[in-house]
Amino acid sequence: MAEGQDPKADRGYDFDLVKKEQGADFECTICHLILRDPYSTPCNHAFCYVCLTQWHTEQGNAKRPITCPNCNTVYNPEKIHREGVIDRMVKTSLDVKCKKHEMGCKWQGKIIDYQV
């Protein structure tokens, strides 16, 4: 990782939702942010790709079998799959607030439309 790079930069989207209940199904239970580049385990739990691969590395380094962070089901990490539909839903259906809303920005919209 480059010096000064945020270690959480590629984890979930760090947005506040306009309606909190809207995002309950789209939260990564590893980083507790909105799913970014979601992948599912064979037991059908979705996580950010970066979070899940880091989980695999940590489990492997500890010489443990790879288990689902949600339900502890043992699985082969080669069996994870990308969730394109969930990714599209996250980017196009969740209403989020600007990351600078606490500084007065009033923008609200979809993640796909957010510009820095």
3-state SS of the chain: helix, strand, coil percent to 5?
A: 35, 15, 50
User: Could you tell me the two tokens for 84?
Assistant: 């394109």
Across 101-111, average pLDDT: 94
Give all domains of the chain, ordered by start, each with its CATH number.
Answer: 15-113 (3.30.40.10)
For 8-62, the pLDDT digits (tens) are 567 999 999 999 887 889 999 999 999 999 999 999 999 999 999 999 999 989 8
pTM of the model: 0.86
Q: Find all residues with CB under 8 Å of 51, minimum gap 6, and list them.
A: 11, 12, 28, 30, 31
What three-state secondary structure class fits 115? Answer: coil
